[in-house]
């Protein structure tokens, strides 16, 4: 990596493969997509409400991946770059 040897076990911890074709729902917004994926990964809390730390994590992912401007945009209207970043956030 950058001219330096890296153990494959180390690389697996920090790298992921994101396929070009996605199974994201084009009618869902970026935020709803992330909430949906979070709900699939964890049991529901307090009468189907998301915990505050789940919301904080989603907000952080949106910010870190530069998706703030498209937070309320349907996935079907995103650029390829935005879709790739959303896919990373869903992992």
Residue 86 forms part of a structural domain: yes
- Return d(Cα 27, Cα 48) in angstroms, integer: 22
**pTM (two decimals):** 0.73
Is residue 10 in some structural domain?
A: no
Burial string for 61-82 (b: 16+ CB within 10 Å, else e) reads bbeebebeebeeeebeebeeeb
Answer whether residue 57 is part of any domain: yes
Q: Provide the residue range defining the domain that includes 82.
A: 20-90
How many domains does the chain divide into?
1
pLDDT for the residue 28: 97
> C-alpha angle 49/33/64, rounded to 5°?
100
Residue 12 lies in a domain: no
Q: Give a yes or no: residue 31 inside a domain.
A: yes
CA distance 30 to 78: 9
- 50 phi and psi, to 5 degrees? -80, 145
For the segment 52-70, what is each residue's pLDDT rounded down to a tens digit?
Answer: 688 899 999 999 999 999 9
Whether residue 49 is contained in a domain is answered as yes
Q: Mean pLDDT over all residues of the chain? A: 86
Q: What is the pLDDT of residue 43?
A: 66
């Amino acid at each position: 990596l950058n001219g330096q040897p890296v153990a494959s076990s180390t690389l697996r911890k920090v790298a992921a493969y994101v396929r070009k074709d996605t199974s994201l729902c084009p009618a869902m917004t970026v935020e709803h997509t992330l909430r949906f994926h979070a709900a699939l990964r964890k049991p529901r809390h307090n009468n189907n409400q998301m915990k505050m730390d789940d919301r904080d994590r989603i907000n952080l992912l949106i910010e870190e991946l530069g998706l703030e401007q498209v937070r309320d945009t349907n996935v079907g209207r995103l650029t390829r770059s935005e879709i790739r970043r959303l896919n990373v956030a869903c992992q």
